[in-house]
Amino acid sequence: MIVRERPSGLRLYFIFKGSMLQSIRWQLVSTVLVAAAVYLTHGMLFAIKITMTPIPFSLIGLALAIFLGFRNNASYERYWEGRKLWGELMIACRTITRQMQTFVTGSGADEARRRMAYRAIAFAHALRHHLRGSDPREEVGALLTAEEFAALEGAVNKPDFLVRRMAADLRGLVGERATNPLFAARIDETLTSFATILAGCERIKQTPIPFSYTLLIHRTAYLYCFMLPFGLVDSIGFMTPFVVGLISYTFFGLDALGDEIAEPFGTLPNDLPLAGICRGIEISIREALGEEGLPEALKPVDFCIL
Amino acid sequence: MIVRERPSGLRLYFIFKGSMLQSIRWQLVSTVLVAAAVYLTHGMLFAIKITMTPIPFSLIGLALAIFLGFRNNASYERYWEGRKLWGELMIACRTITRQMQTFVTGSGADEARRRMAYRAIAFAHALRHHLRGSDPREEVGALLTAEEFAALEGAVNKPDFLVRRMAADLRGLVGERATNPLFAARIDETLTSFATILAGCERIKQTPIPFSYTLLIHRTAYLYCFMLPFGLVDSIGFMTPFVVGLISYTFFGLDALGDEIAEPFGTLPNDLPLAGICRGIEISIREALGEEGLPEALKPVDFCIL
Amino acid sequence: MIVRERPSGLRLYFIFKGSMLQSIRWQLVSTVLVAAAVYLTHGMLFAIKITMTPIPFSLIGLALAIFLGFRNNASYERYWEGRKLWGELMIACRTITRQMQTFVTGSGADEARRRMAYRAIAFAHALRHHLRGSDPREEVGALLTAEEFAALEGAVNKPDFLVRRMAADLRGLVGERATNPLFAARIDETLTSFATILAGCERIKQTPIPFSYTLLIHRTAYLYCFMLPFGLVDSIGFMTPFVVGLISYTFFGLDALGDEIAEPFGTLPNDLPLAGICRGIEISIREALGEEGLPEALKPVDFCIL
Amino acid sequence: MIVRERPSGLRLYFIFKGSMLQSIRWQLVSTVLVAAAVYLTHGMLFAIKITMTPIPFSLIGLALAIFLGFRNNASYERYWEGRKLWGELMIACRTITRQMQTFVTGSGADEARRRMAYRAIAFAHALRHHLRGSDPREEVGALLTAEEFAALEGAVNKPDFLVRRMAADLRGLVGERATNPLFAARIDETLTSFATILAGCERIKQTPIPFSYTLLIHRTAYLYCFMLPFGLVDSIGFMTPFVVGLISYTFFGLDALGDEIAEPFGTLPNDLPLAGICRGIEISIREALGEEGLPEALKPVDFCIL
Amino acid sequence: MIVRERPSGLRLYFIFKGSMLQSIRWQLVSTVLVAAAVYLTHGMLFAIKITMTPIPFSLIGLALAIFLGFRNNASYERYWEGRKLWGELMIACRTITRQMQTFVTGSGADEARRRMAYRAIAFAHALRHHLRGSDPREEVGALLTAEEFAALEGAVNKPDFLVRRMAADLRGLVGERATNPLFAARIDETLTSFATILAGCERIKQTPIPFSYTLLIHRTAYLYCFMLPFGLVDSIGFMTPFVVGLISYTFFGLDALGDEIAEPFGTLPNDLPLAGICRGIEISIREALGEEGLPEALKPVDFCIL
């Protein structure tokens, strides 16, 4: 996530972080070069004048508007649903910690509370690494016992493993009568929230926007931008490369940004700050446990929190 | 579901899998041929010049934009709701397995857990075959006892039969006091989730987008594309077939893709990977049961997971 | 609901069922006649040339796009919400049948189960007739005792009466200790689902899209189509009636279809197949009760299920 | 709410009720007069020809489409959410009546049921008057005891007062063991529904669409319509006032209708029929109590139910 | 929130509060000056005629419509979701107050009720200050004991601290048997609502609309408005600065308004009236406690409630 004040005036044009320029520079350069060539040859290709007017572009524009508008909304919905799921994870972590404090009694209660809360934090870290395909060992290891950590290593789905361990703990508490069945049923509801969050994130990660959309959109946008100079050169002359560059920049930029946020769990600049949220969960839960020496919230590096 | 990296540059134009070209090739060829004929005759039909300008196409474009945009969104929502229902199935399967472990005690508990979990997996397979009209015997048979499988054979609605068997098991557990009523009520909620998923999928499968939309859209799109050459030939001459081809490709492609994902439970390339999700459920539940020798996740064949 | 394969090619133009042509034929004929008259008089009205260009139509098109797009989406949402409510009715019927089997014990349990399940089926039929203003006697009578049926006759709101009878049964079961309070609370939740479905359907039926929208849209669309020939005749000549006919067909067709699906509980071809869903519920619940000789699913008549 | 069949053909133009003409007549008259003046002076203002083409109107049209489309959707969503909340009120009233019958036993049960049900009806009336700023005394007075009514008089938030009284009753029932805690918890859930409906309606009433939108839209729409004649007069001459009138009618009408339904709890013709819904609740609940002499459903007066 | 009647007629143009003019005045002035310069030089830049027609602006308009429409909807959804969360806070506060009255008995009940209700009010104030980064001491201090207030001072997340204190109270009530486990479970659900509201508000505050959208939109809108004079000057001459000013006003105004409501918890004029809602909660809860001398609802200052 890029954390930055909205720039104003001319400074707007001197920002590269968060601009999509980096991802689309080659496409942009090639459309502008084509436009310049078309201007220099007056729209001739192999001595044949390509007769083209702006009309076809209005007509194709219709399809493009549907495509780009649809894809943009679908991408943002995926992004925002991902964010909601991580917000629910914050709720689930705080709730299970609170419920353990309200509902569990007996001699081992403090130990049980701490273990459950640590597993909730470990779930957050494990889910992040699960979604990003990275190694959860360092962060998760510090939160579990060595034995449990070893068992986790062998699990195919690490976050799911942690939910099952929480459930095993709950079962133990019911067995020892440290909580009553009614409270256990409430805690079980919270465990279902963890399962819901996990499956929701997996759904977003595993099922992209159908590939054929991507293909149709890219093809249409590319053809549109490469043909555009032929449609403009007769009316705007030497301004053609400039206008084509501007239009390409908006279309390609919108498209590349859609690509980026449609997979919101990655580590590109506009993706969700999962590490930041995990840290926030850690601070919140440790505070709820009454611990001292809480870690600091993550600070943006080069305007970015990952 | 097509699993493929987004191609870039020229490679974009040499992909056929996932391109809608296959489904729309005849329509595309015929519009291009009509456009070529119109160019060669200079828009004359039986010695009468068809007077046409691009203006009618902007006006019809309005209706087309509403139609295509609407249908595209409606199709994608059906697709995504289908995906969500299958994501909830993953949650329901994991939850019932977890609840059986947390909430059931006594001597027969392990057997009861395994039976319930296997029925959950069988539900997933049976639902997939129910939606695709295929034969569930092979996969479901391995998960049930011979006697239960025989009873299943006679059921009209196989997934519903499995939910009823899970309920019968639950009733047995309550009768034997292997679980308490409160926990049974929680498990019953999970059974309602299975019923919800089943009815949700049946709703999507049985109730298509109203047929009259399909008819209106097809008629409008076809007439638009076949009349378009008359509107363009006077201004862009020999480029007419090319531009008509491009516009037809985007409209027909968008339309065909809408058809494909509006029925997301089929076996076309862009449909949901139900077999892949079933396999994922199987892996997850078997792991939760502590089984060894888990099956592998389905791999894409020719970039496709079904 | 029209059940039909998507036609392709020329056959597309020889389908009348599901085409909106029937509902809009007079409007269509009159716009085409007006257009023909305008062509023949070269846009003169009482010897005065009506000076009109296509420009006003692009400007009005903006308002029309907002109107038609909005109304189309609102209509479809009503349609789909209606369908969802009937999908939830399937869930509620199956769930109450299942819960009666899981949660009720004792000597009268089988009779109580059967009675509750029959009332659920009767609710579906009664709701359909309630929404369609038709006579529920035949179908509902077969599912209730004579005495109960007589009481139903006197009820203002028949589906609500049935929910109250289900509640009375539940109260009896609690009184006889045939179920425990916890399970009764779960069954009561399912009864609330029935109440939710009833009130949801009543909401859709009783509150149409605000009448002023309908009026604004109709007026704008009519004026647009009747004035259009004056804007086109100077540029496209004898093609005017044809183009006006095509544009009118799409606008009036979209509008008429919106009218049809905005009241999804009627008996027009594109309305929801309530009788078909009721039959599906009957089959599913009777199967769950273990009955023999289940009725068949409704078959489309002239491509239509009502 | 306007209750009227959709008119067809010419009759469409002779309906004033439900047409927005009344609210926008002065604006309409002034734009048409301006357009006529512009036509008569050939677009000269103080001897200076205002050079204007239709192009700026297409460009401004873009902003207008976003504004009007957005506002239209936001208004309708507010309207429909308001309707949903009142539909949930019907559910809540029926549910609490049913639950009192299922869950409460003992000698005072009938009295308690009647009192609770009457309070639910009183809640509906009180909420309507709360939202419309009218006097609830007549209708609510008949449903409460004199003493309770006196207490209600002093309450700042009358519907909330009634929920608290229902809660006090529930507490009494628990104290007398007329219901068990589990059933009380279910009834408490229904009370939370009442609280949810109240707060939801208050939210819609207290938080309008941000004022700056209204301002931006009005200014843009007004300037658009008043400048339009200058853009049209050179091409369509004496038709200018007519076309400007038509375009103004659609834009101002859409805008005025948005204003009307964005505050759906008022008493303008297109607002929600709260009195009609209250009457419906009264009939339904009194029937559930087994009362005789039910009131009649409200009939439309001059095609309108308030 | 701006509280103001919709102005009509000419007065519309003499309102500055709520107009976005203040925020966009420099941008507006510079585009108008550029337009005036372009008019005076007849579109020459350094003696070179910038050849430009309106066509590029229709094409870029497509991208702008997608951008602005998307951002506008996304901003408003954030605004309305924020408002919904605060509406749910009203529900949660009323519900916990009601549940304490229904469900808690015993000698210390009154004291416990008052303490819980005060904490709910304190939660509202603390959440507001948490979101606005302001100092909660004055308002929250009056609602807590000195000792509790001191503990609050040290908390990182003050609203969360208050939820944990409510949970500690609940645990005490369960320990003293002042409530039964079933009722405690219901109260715990309400506590989860507080946690949900807190995390929901934090989500909106911490995760803005992706920065790259902001950048793309600003750049496109600025370039569009600064280049526009070159496209218009040849056709509309001295009207250029006026039209450019109008178009810039709508685009920049829409954009600035989007910025304002996308962060709905701030203290700009169109932001949510959090202080007003807090006051409303305070009045409602104090009334429910039967207190006298309720505070007054907040009155708008200069048409504004913060």
How far apart CA E86 and CA E194 sit, in angstroms, is 10
For residue A287, the chain E residues in CB contact (below 8 A) are 155-157, 160-161
In total, chain E counts a number of residues equal to 306
The per-residue pLDDT for range E142-197, each reduced to its tens digit, is: 999 999 999 999 899 999 999 999 999 999 999 999 999 999 999 999 999 999 99
Pairing of strands B48-49, B44-45: antiparallel
Average pLDDT score over residue span C248-267: 92
Query: What is the distance in angstroms between the CA of the first residue and the CA of the last residue of chain E?
Result: 6
What pLDDT is recorded for position B9? 66
Q: Does the beta carbon of B261 lie under 8 angstroms from any beta carbon of chain A?
A: yes
Coil, helix or strand for B228?
Answer: helix
* C20 with B50: Cβ contact below 8 A: no
The per-residue pLDDT for range C230-252, each reduced to its tens digit, is: 999 988 889 999 999 999 999 99
Tokens 């009861």 correspond to B112
pLDDT over 70 percentage in chain B: 99
CB atoms within 10 A of CB B304: 20
Alpha-helical runs (H) found in chain B: 21-40, 55-103, 109-132, 137-141, 146-153, 158-175, 181-206, 211-236, 240-262, 274-288
Residue A147 pLDDT greater than 70, yes or no: yes
Which has the closest alpha carbon to C184: E286, A56, D65, B185? Answer: B185
CB atoms within 10 A of CB A162: 28
What pLDDT is recorded for position B55? 85
Two tokens, residue C109:
């349990």
How far apart CA A283 and CA E161 sit, in angstroms, is 13
SS3 content of chain A, % helix, strand, coil (to 5): 75, 5, 25
Residue D181 exposure: Cα atoms within 13 Å on the Cβ side: 12
Residue E127 pLDDT greater than 90, yes or no: yes
How far apart CA B56 and CA C243 sit, in angstroms, is 7
For residue E105, the chain D residues in CB contact (below 8 A) are 175
What lies within 8 Å, CB to CB, of C154 at 6+ separation is none
B108-136: string of b/e by CB count within 10 Å (b at 16+)?
ebeebbebbbbbbbbbbbbbbbbbbeeeb
Q: Does the beta carbon of B47 lie under 8 angstroms from any beta carbon of chain C?
A: no
For the four alpha carbons of B298, B304, B305 and B306, in that order, the dihedral sign comes to negative
* E202 with A90: Cβ contact below 8 A: yes
Best mutation target among C246, C251, C281 (most B Cβ atoms within 10 Å) is: C246
Pairing of strands B48-49, C44-45: unpaired
* A155 with B287: Cβ contact below 8 A: yes
How far apart CA D239 and CA D224 sit, in angstroms, is 18
DSSP A275-295: HHHHHHHHHHHHHHTT-SSPP
Among B247-261, C229-243, D46-60, D131-145, the least confident range: D46-60
Which amino acid belongs to residue C25?
R
Q: Which of residues 138-167 of D touch E (CB under 8 A)?
A: 155-157, 160, 163-164, 167
**Residue B2's beta-bridge partner residues?**
B304
Stretch (H or E) spanning D282: helix D274-288
**Residue D301's beta-bridge partner residues?**
D304
Region for residue E299 given its phi and psi (left: phi exceeds 0; alpha: psi -120 to 50; beta: otherwise): beta
pLDDT over 70 percentage in chain A: 99
Q: Does the beta carbon of B274 lie under 8 angstroms from any beta carbon of chain A?
A: no
Two tokens, residue D193:
């529904």
* Nearest residue of chain B to residue A212 (CA atoms): B18
Residue B128 pLDDT greater than 70, yes or no: yes
Residue E122 pLDDT greater than 90, yes or no: yes
Residue A43 pLDDT greater than 90, yes or no: no
Hey, what long-range contacts does B31-36 have (CB within 8 A, 24 or more apart)? Answer: B31/B225, B31/B226, B31/B228, B31/B244, B31/B245, B31/B248, B32/B241, B32/B244, B32/B245, B32/B248, B34/B226, B34/B229, B34/B244, B35/B228, B35/B229, B35/B240, B35/B241, B35/B244, B35/B245, B36/B240, B36/B241
Average pLDDT, chain E: 91
What's the angle, vertex CA B58, arms to CA B53 and CA B60, rounded to 5?
105
**DSSP for residue A268:** S
What pLDDT is recorded for position E46? 72
In total, chain D counts a number of residues equal to 306
What pLDDT is recorded for position C48? 79
How far apart CA A207 and CA B270 sit, in angstroms, is 11
Residue A43, classified by CB atoms within 10 Å of its CB into exposed (0-12), middle (13-18) or buried (19+), is: buried
What pLDDT is recorded for position B187? 96
**DSSP for residue D2:** B
Q: Please, which pLDDT band fits residue C29 given cuts at 50, 70 and 90? A: very high
Query: What is the distance in angstroms between the CA of the first residue and the CA of the last residue of chain D?
Result: 6
Region for residue C155 given its phi and psi (left: phi exceeds 0; alpha: psi -120 to 50; beta: otherwise): beta
What's the angle, vertex CA A138, arms to CA A132 and CA A140, rounded to 5?
75
Strand runs labelled E in D46-148: 48-49
- Tell me what ipTM this predicted complex has: 0.95
What lies within 8 Å, CB to CB, of A21 at 6+ separation is A28, A249, A253
Tokens 């009938």 correspond to D110
CA distances from D32 to D40, D168, D243 (A): 12, 62, 9
Average pLDDT score over residue span B189-208: 97
What lies within 8 Å, CB to CB, of A200 at 6+ separation is A81, A85, B87
How far apart CA A103 and CA A113 sit, in angstroms, is 10
* Binding partners of C (≥3 Cβ pairs within 8 A): B, D
- The values of phi and psi at residue A47, to 5°, are 65, 10
Which has the closest alpha carbon to E96: E118, E74, E127? Answer: E118
Q: Which of residues 166-185 of C touch B (CB under 8 A)?
A: 180, 182-183, 185
How far apart CA A57 and CA A64 sit, in angstroms, is 10
The per-residue pLDDT for range B245-289, each reduced to its tens digit, is: 999 999 999 989 998 999 999 999 899 999 999 999 999 999 999
Query: What is the distance in angstroms between the CA of the first residue and the CA of the last residue of chain A?
Result: 6
Which amino acid belongs to residue B237?
G
Residue A10 pLDDT greater than 80, yes or no: no
For residue A188, the chain B residues in CB contact (below 8 A) are 99, 102-103, 186
What pLDDT is recorded for position B36? 94
What lies within 8 Å, CB to CB, of D268 at 6+ separation is D260
What pLDDT is recorded for position E277? 97
Stretch (H or E) spanning E250: helix E240-262
The per-residue pLDDT for range D192-207, each reduced to its tens digit, is: 999 999 999 999 999 9
* E65 with D67: Cβ contact below 8 A: no
* Nearest residue of chain D to residue C195 (CA atoms): D91
Among A141-150, B49-58, E220-229, the least confident range: B49-58
CA distances from A192 to A45, A88, A89, A165, B283 (A): 64, 12, 11, 13, 19
* B195 with C237: Cβ contact below 8 A: no
How far apart CA B55 and CA A55 sit, in angstroms, is 9
Tokens 């009788």 correspond to C275
What pLDDT is recorded for position C9? 66
Average pLDDT score over residue span A212-234: 89
* E250 with D191: Cβ contact below 8 A: no
Two tokens, residue D267:
């008493």
The per-residue pLDDT for range B19-47, each reduced to its tens digit, is: 788 888 888 999 999 999 999 988 777 77
How far apart CA E173 and CA D213 sit, in angstroms, is 49
- Residue D73 CA, chain-centre distance (Å), reads 14
Which has the closest alpha carbon to E237: D51, D46, D45? Answer: D51
Question: Are the C-beta atoms of residues E32 and E245 closer than 8 Å to each other?
Answer: yes
Output D190 or C59, whichever has higher pLDDT: D190
Closest partner residue to B195 (CB to CB) among C72, C95, C228 is: C95
Domain boundary assignment for chain E: 24-53+209-262, 75-208+272-291
CA distances from A108 to A105, A145, A171, A172, A173 (A): 8, 17, 14, 11, 9
Coil, helix or strand for D133?
Answer: coil
Coil, helix or strand for E113?
Answer: helix
The per-residue pLDDT for range B280-297, each reduced to its tens digit, is: 999 999 999 999 889 999
Which has the closest alpha carbon to E234: D64, A243, A235, D224? Answer: A235
What pLDDT is recorded for position C218? 86
Question: Are the C-beta atoms of residues E103 and E290 closer than 8 Å to each other?
Answer: no
Residue A273 pLDDT greater than 70, yes or no: yes
How far apart CA A205 and CA E168 sit, in angstroms, is 39
The per-residue pLDDT for range B83-106, each reduced to its tens digit, is: 999 999 999 999 999 999 999 998
How far apart CA E205 and CA E192 sit, in angstroms, is 20
Q: Please, which pLDDT band fits residue A9 given cuts at 50, 70 and 90? A: low
Which has the closest alpha carbon to A254: E71, D60, B251, E72? Answer: E71
Two tokens, residue B14:
């040499």
* D257 with C210: Cβ contact below 8 A: yes
Question: Are the C-beta atoms of residues B178 and C223 closer than 8 Å to each other?
Answer: no
Alpha-helical runs (H) found in D41-180: 55-103, 109-132, 137-141, 146-153, 158-175
Residue E9 pLDDT greater than 70, yes or no: no
